[in-house]
Structure 1
Amino acid sequence: MDVTTNGEVSFWYADMGGVPGYRQPLPGDISVDVCIVGAGFTGLWTAYYLKEAEPGLSIAIVEKEFAGFGASGRNGGWCSGEFGWSRQKYLSSGTRAGVIEFERQLRSTVDEVKRVTEAEGIDCDFRLTDCLTFAQTPAQMARLQEDYEAAMSWQVPTTRLELIGGAEAAARIRVPDAQGALVRHHVARVQPAKLVRGLAEAVERRGVAIYEQTTVTGIAKGRVTTNRGRVTAHRIIRATEGFTHGIPGNERQWLPMNSAIVVTEPLPDDLWREIGWEDHQLLADASHAYCYAQRTRGNRIAMGGRGVPYRFGSKTDTRGQTQPETIEKLKDILYRMLPQTRGLRLDHAWCGVLGVPRDWCATAGMDPQTGIGWAGGYVGLGVSTSNFSGQTLADLVLDRQTERTVLPWVNRRPRKWEVEPFRWLGVHGMYWLYHRADRNEAAGGGKTTSRLASWANRLTGR
């Protein structure tokens, strides 16, 4: 295993000087207006907008580890304002106009995150840029063309998306065998641990209490029970995303999908010129297995992908430590996308979990009978979507009818995941088919998507 550090939550914390110390745990039984379970992006943004709307609210956040321990402090740092998977799926809970409006509002989160970080003095390496999704085979290019045409048919503004050919794509970043790229404009790169820690400090300044080292053992109407005491609250928000399965009664709600990242040593200027990656664009590919990358503030490459996608029984990692097999897969992806990096040292590898609903569509909602709200299922697009969750949940907690509360993702409840071993077999079967499809497309030179990928999508409802 050729990597300097494995785990220790993530490189993003090493970049900040190390994993932070803990805040105090819940001191015993308390009563507040709102209790939020989980001190990641979703919970913190919710607290932020609640305090912005009603400064007098008493709010407590309870967190098993420390603020930003989960995906919020481990992700790839894409603030994309992206929609996720199929727009078509949201038609089951809304109209075409509602889906278009949802996407429009979600795109505005990039500017909203920028506004808050500037207003609160959060230095999170925020940088507006583009995202380039490269095609390295004719089949991948055909899929990008389909995605572009589908977006245009849904009235996504042409200023948001651009489809470019191979020569222009390679001129922006020298990815080999580039057939073209889909360019998403007006996205942002962030250092996610800096953002989540800065946001935690911002809500504390507004009087929100964050209790760490506090394990939630149950959520019911009007109360949250923990190993440190009970929190009584009129409104409760479950903001646990990929860790939702750990709360009794939610074991099959959202599947904890693994994603992992490796970070290189800093690249010298001449290597950046050789790669052509001059403008800090976000980088992805159009393979079925998928990868994502950014050029960090410190001139490193952070390259992420799925690796081993799911652990049996919804088990999660130990403080970000990932398998040697995953590290090797990510090295292969890095060298396939950027062969110029061969020979670079890998300074850090880690993993985390993201929440995947059975229909692969994000949701936010509030049960009016119990007063319990939730948000998550971001499927890897949580940096920006969690901001919109916070805005939406604040409206729902305060019983406000707004342009957000009528969108088709609100109160969406997909069916639960299957029991084991069927969900393990389903997820691993899906990614086995994806990898085979990618190999077949690369070897065959065909212009159409492999049928194996279509079978994989049908298998898990993606």
Structure 2
Amino acid sequence: MNEIKNGDISFWYADIGGVPGYRPPLPGDIDVDICIVGGGFTGLWTAYYLTEARPDLSIAVIEKEFAGFGASGRNGGWCTGEFAWSRQKYLSSGSREGVIDFERQLRGTVAEVKRVTEKEGIDCDFRMTDLLTYACSPAQLERLEASYAEARAWDVPTDRIELIGAAEAKARINVANAQGALVRHNVARIQPAKLVRGLAEVVERRGVKIYEQTTVTRIGKGVVTTNRGTVRAQRIVRATEGFTHGIPGNEREWIPMNSAIVVTEPVPDALWREIGWDGYELLGDASHAYCYAQRTRGNRIAMGGRGVPYRYGSKTDVRGQTQLETIEKLKEILYRMLPQTRPLRLDHAWCGVLGVPRDWCTTSGLDADSGIAWAGGYVGLGVSTSNFSGQTLADLLLDKTTERTGLPWVNRRPRKWEPEPLRWLGVHTMYWLYHLADRNERAGGGRKTSRLATLANRITGR
């Protein structure tokens, strides 16, 4: 195997000249109106919309590493406005109309991110396109048909979603064994490191202070304690997503699920003519252990998926370095879907963590007694959902009642994850069953969805 760069945060930073230097740390004890813990998309979008509404506020963002160190600078660059897993589960905290409205507003975040990046001059390779989820067996096609029927039953408009047949699907991207594809329109491809770094620069110009190299050791009512000093604030935002387990008292709130990506060398024009992909669509499949991919601005293929899904005790990676077995699994996925790519060299591999609540549904809210707000648990759909989080948290922090603050994801409190070793066993069993279900479907000609996948969903409540 060729020498492949492993880690170094992500390829997205290599693409912009390397990992950035650090901003100065917290200089000591300070007082501000609002303190935001976490310098990723959630924290920065919140700061952005707060400054839009109240330019006079003093706001501090506290970040352990550098702004964009976590999932915000490592993800697959899908800006989709998609729902996090289950419409039905949101009915426990809202009406059908409220769930439909939530989904409608989430879809609008794609246009909102486009608007802000254009207004603020953030060059993040933003490109409007479609998301194509391919079925490569009859069982997968059956699942896509069910997803399409559910979306229509929940009033997702036809200009947003459609189902296409095998010939049209292969004409768009020449995926092996394509049986058809579910098409979601009006999504976007981005370069995530460019977006998060650009957003950080925008809020800094507006007067927001970003303190890096500063570790938060505790969050309490009106106070954030760090290794560099104490921040006192009327309102506090916990915007730590996949790293939330590291805040005392939140160890079992959301688990850090691992996801990894490999990126190829630039693809020659002749090979693109074989593959297609002329619309730079986002690409996924309907396997149980799903994948996600994009065609980058530099004409590479970035292919992502699950490797080792969860590390015991909620451990996280070291600056994006992933396991060799994960790289091999991602190569298998790339070659299975696009066998034309076998001659290509892989240039970079990395991983990161995403936050997963016990019910697999994203949430946001504000505790009125403590003044502590939160948002996250995006289950891998954070690029667009974090924008909506920022809008919603700004409303909540400023005590506004808006069409966002009454939506069913606000102030949801799913139960906590089980203690170890139960959660490690549960997550690893789930993904073992998913992989086994996919293998069984392929071995059996993919005629029926494997019951093992249903069992996997039951185990973890997905």
- TM-score, length basis structure 2: 0.99
SS at match of 1:258: strand
| Contact residue 3 and residue 345 of structure 1 kept, 8 A | no
| Contact residue 81 and residue 385 of structure 2 kept, 8 A | yes
Aligned equivalents of 2:377, 2:247: Cα separation in 1: 15
- In the alignment, residue 436 of structure 1 is paired with which amino acid? L
Deviation of 1:443 (Å):
1.3
| Contact residue 24 and residue 212 of structure 2 kept, 8 A | yes
Instruction: Quote the residue 1:6 is aligned against.
Output: 6
Q: Is the counterpart of residue 124 in structure 1 residue 136 in structure 2?
A: no
Instruction: Quote the residue 1:294 is aligned against.
Output: 294
Aligned equivalents of 1:246, 1:305: Cα separation in 2: 24
Instruction: Quote the residue 1:40 is aligned against.
Output: 40
Instruction: Quote the residue 1:359 is aligned against.
Output: 359
Instruction: Quote the residue 1:233 is aligned against.
Output: 233
Deviation of 1:325 (Å):
0.4
Aligned equivalents of 1:338, 1:5: Cα separation in 2: 22
Deviation of 1:449 (Å):
1.4
Deviation of 1:448 (Å):
2.7
- In the alignment, residue 108 of structure 1 is paired with which amino acid? G
Instruction: Quote the residue 1:23 is aligned against.
Output: 23
Q: Is the counterpart of residue 73 in structure 1 residue 65 in structure 2?
A: no
Deviation of 1:4 (Å):
1.9
Aligned length: 462
- Structure 1 gap segments, 5+ residues each: none
SS at match of 1:152: helix
- 1:21-61 superposed Cα distances (whole Å, 9 cap, x missing partner): 00000000000000000000000000000000000000000
Instruction: Quote the residue 1:324 is aligned against.
Output: 324
Instruction: Quote the residue 2:144 is aligned against.
Output: 144
What is the alpha-carbon root mean square deviation over aligned residues?
Answer: 0.6
Q: How does 1:20-419 map to 2 (within 5 A)?
A: 20-419=20-419
- Structure 2 gap segments, 5+ residues each: none
Aligned equivalents of 1:447, 1:341: Cα separation in 2: 27
Deviation of 1:96 (Å):
0.2
| Contact residue 3 and residue 349 of structure 1 kept, 8 A | no
| Contact residue 142 and residue 447 of structure 1 kept, 8 A | no
Q: Is the counterpart of residue 440 in structure 1 residue 449 in structure 2?
A: no
Give structure 1 regions of 4+ aligned residues with deviation exceeding 6 angstroms: none
Deviation of 1:266 (Å):
0.2
- In the alignment, residue 429 of structure 1 is paired with which amino acid? T
- 1:114-146 superposed Cα distances (whole Å, 9 cap, x missing partner): 000001100000000000000001100000000
| Contact residue 140 and residue 446 of structure 2 kept, 8 A | no
- In the alignment, residue 345 of structure 1 is paired with which amino acid? R
SS at match of 2:84: coil
Aligned equivalents of 1:86, 1:248: Cα separation in 2: 29
- In the alignment, residue 16 of structure 2 is paired with which amino acid? M
Aligned equivalents of 2:378, 2:139: Cα separation in 1: 27
Aligned equivalents of 1:232, 1:337: Cα separation in 2: 52
Deviation of 1:3 (Å):
4.5
SS at match of 1:167: helix
Aligned equivalents of 1:396, 1:371: Cα separation in 2: 10
- 1:397-422 superposed Cα distances (whole Å, 9 cap, x missing partner): 00000000000000001000000011
- In the alignment, residue 387 of structure 2 is paired with which amino acid? N
- 1:358-401 superposed Cα distances (whole Å, 9 cap, x missing partner): 00000000000000000000000000000000000000000000
